[in-house]
Amino acid sequence: MVTPLERRHLLPQRMPRASRAGPARATFGAMTTSPLDLLARAVDLDARSPLAGSRERFTLPEGVVYLDGNSLGALPRAVPAVVADVVERQWGQRLIRSWNEADWWGAQTRVGDVVGRLVGAAPGQVVVTDSTSVNLFKAIVAAARLRPGRTVLLTDPDSFPTDLYVAQSAARVAGLEVRLATPDAAPDAIRALGPSLALAAYSQVDFRTGEKWDLVAITEAAHDVGALACWDLCHSAGAMVVDLDGARADFAVGCGYKYLNGGPGAPAYLYVAARHLDAFDQPLTGWHGHAHPFQMGATYEPAPGIDRARVGTPPLLSLLALEAALTAYDGVTPEQVRAQSLSLTGTFLDALDALGVDLPLATPREPERRGSQVSLRHPQAFAVVQALIARDVVGDFREPNLVRLGFAPLYVTHVDAVTAATHLRDVLAGREHERPGLAERSAVT
């Protein structure tokens, strides 16, 4: 049943004043399904979803359709109380004793094992530490040291910029040459490079288009020529099934603040396959990665296991916030998450079609090629995103022309998906993106 609240949500006449003057443009195809039919179907899908209750695990502002969990995840309800306890009791009352009493020392690997469950990693291979950028640097240099004599690092020219910047610097440090091949061309490029390839470093999901790449095929191709594979999981962990152990991936990195909901600046993680741990020789040899940190010796001796991937003192408030945030995934399987994600993006795409919104899609329509976002092209994409935000539909803009909408499976609903499509139709029909001032950019887009 469509409740009055949902009806109001879906069919708002809440159009920003300036836009009401603009004539609706007749550039939309015929509407084949009414908005109310779409909404009724969405309500039904939400009611039947195995993840129906998981939205309750989050605090979300009333009336906001939040489609930017692929940039900054929403606030899990479990977090504030844990952070308050960490600040007031663990820090405020117990002071330095909490390093042992609250096992602050073990938190990086303890939380690492929880992340491991979301990315198909058995315990002891994931550490939560540093940023994605720093972890990628560590992984690339360590990979080069595992493959001495090999000269090439292969990566995607369309990678998230930090991955390219880090690749360039890590390659210089490790004496590698960076070569570029898009993920679809990577297996052939890997075969052509053969024994000169040390490492193939790719993202599982493209941050711009949301296209999902073949982690298994690229990893296998790298292994076939004796090279290693490193994966950036920023846009996949927590939103789909990731099976690092099953794919025999060598390394992986990812951030804690997108689908893992760890909050702004949450620490990132690094996966090192168990078979590489003994030889994992990473370049940032800080005291938290030492075998005997409190002996305070003058010479570095790597800790056994994944602890050697640690560097310096971690940001404990953020780390423990992430630990609390990850409880939002308790009892939820990666398969359920993936099914929900595809159902949400599919519903959004169906709603766009039904409402006659015909912006070019940057995201593949085939479900098996989609991550958990939908990106649409528009020449004034930035202003379109701002106009949507003015209607409380929060997504983001990515250069050069992308309206990027992320569907975080734990808290975005099918009703949200239909509501967002309806607002997008209304923004475009009312040319709200042409309102003065909407093209002005802040520091963060």
Ligand X SMILES: Cc1ncc(COP(=O)(O)O)c(C=O)c1O
Catalytic residues: 160, 232, 257-258, 404
Closer CB to ligand X, 171 or 428, in the complex = 171
Binder among 79, 140, 174, 234 for ligand X (CB under 6 A): 234
Binding residues for ligand X restricted to 267-286, rule: CB under 6 A: 268
Q: Does residue 129 belong to the site contacting ligand X (CB under 6 A)?
A: no
**CB under 6 A: which stretch of 127-135, 178-186, 209-217, 293-301 binds ligand X?**
127-135
Cβ atoms of 52 and 412 closer than 8 Å: no
Q: Are strands 251-254 and 228-232 parallel, antiparallel or unpaired?
A: parallel
State in angstroms the smallest separation of the CB of 126 from ligand X.
Answer: 15
Closer CB to ligand X, 35 or 406, in the complex = 406
Tokens of 124: 């002891």
Q: Does residue 255 belong to the site contacting ligand X (CB under 6 A)?
A: yes
Q: Does residue 131 belong to the site contacting ligand X (CB under 6 A)?
A: yes
Helix (H, G, I), strand (E, B) or coil at 159: coil
Q: Does residue 373 belong to the site contacting ligand X (CB under 6 A)?
A: no
State in angstroms the smallest separation of the CB of 169 from ligand X.
Answer: 13
Binder among 46, 232, 323, 396 for ligand X (CB under 6 A): 232
Q: How many CA atoms lie within 13 A of 162 on its CB side?
A: 14
Helix (H, G, I), strand (E, B) or coil at 42: helix
Closer CB to ligand X, 73 or 302, in the complex = 73
Tokens of 389: 């935000």
Binder among 156, 163, 211, 416 for ligand X (CB under 6 A): 163
Closer CB to ligand X, 200 or 357, in the complex = 200
State in angstroms the smallest separation of the CB of 54 from ligand X.
Answer: 23
State in angstroms the smallest separation of the CB of 423 from ligand X.
Answer: 24
Contacts of 148 (CB under 8 A, 6+ apart): none
Binder among 58, 160, 271, 397 for ligand X (CB under 6 A): 160
What residues pair up with 84 in beta bridges, in sequence order?
A: none
H/E element holding 420?
Answer: helix 414-429
**8-state DSSP, 59:** E
Closer CB to ligand X, 90 or 236, in the complex = 236
Q: 366: closest CA among 218, 212, 220?
A: 212
State in angstroms the smallest separation of the CB of 312 from ligand X.
Answer: 16
**CB under 6 A: which stretch of 125-133, 149-157, 170-178, 411-419 binds ligand X?**
125-133
Question: Mask of contacts with ligand X, 80-119, x by CB under 6 A?
Answer: ----------------------------------------
Q: How many CA atoms lie within 13 A of 342 on its CB side?
A: 16
Binding residues for ligand X restricted to 169-228, rule: CB under 6 A: 203, 207
Tokens of 220: 């296998």
Closer CB to ligand X, 310 or 414, in the complex = 310
Q: How many residues bind ligand X (CB under 6 A)?
A: 13
The answer to whether the peptide bond before residue 400 is cis (omega within 30 degrees of 0) is yes
Q: Does residue 162 belong to the site contacting ligand X (CB under 6 A)?
A: yes
**CB under 6 A: which stretch of 232-240, 279-287, 323-331, 389-397 binds ligand X?**
232-240
> What is the rounded distance in angstroms from the CA atom of residue 186 to the CA atom of residue 206?
14
Binder among 54, 98, 125, 132 for ligand X (CB under 6 A): 132
> What is the rounded distance in angstroms from the CA atom of residue 229 to the CA atom of residue 251?
6
Closer CB to ligand X, 98 or 132, in the complex = 132
State in angstroms the smallest separation of the CB of 282 from ligand X.
Answer: 16
Contacts of 199 (CB under 8 A, 6+ apart): 140, 143, 144, 147, 153, 154, 176, 222, 227, 228, 229, 230, 250
Tokens of 32: 């084949």
Closer CB to ligand X, 133 or 219, in the complex = 133
State in angstroms the smallest separation of the CB of 258 from ligand X.
Answer: 7
**CB under 6 A: which stretch of 103-111, 229-237, 289-297, 309-317 binds ligand X?**
229-237
Across the beta sheet with 177-180, the strand order is 126-128, 269-272, 251-254, 228-232, 197-203, 152-155, 177-180
Contacts of 406 (CB under 8 A, 6+ apart): 67, 68, 69, 70, 71, 258, 372, 373, 395
- Residues that bind ligand X in the complex, under the rule CB under 6 A: 131-133, 160, 162-163, 203, 207, 232, 234-235, 255, 268
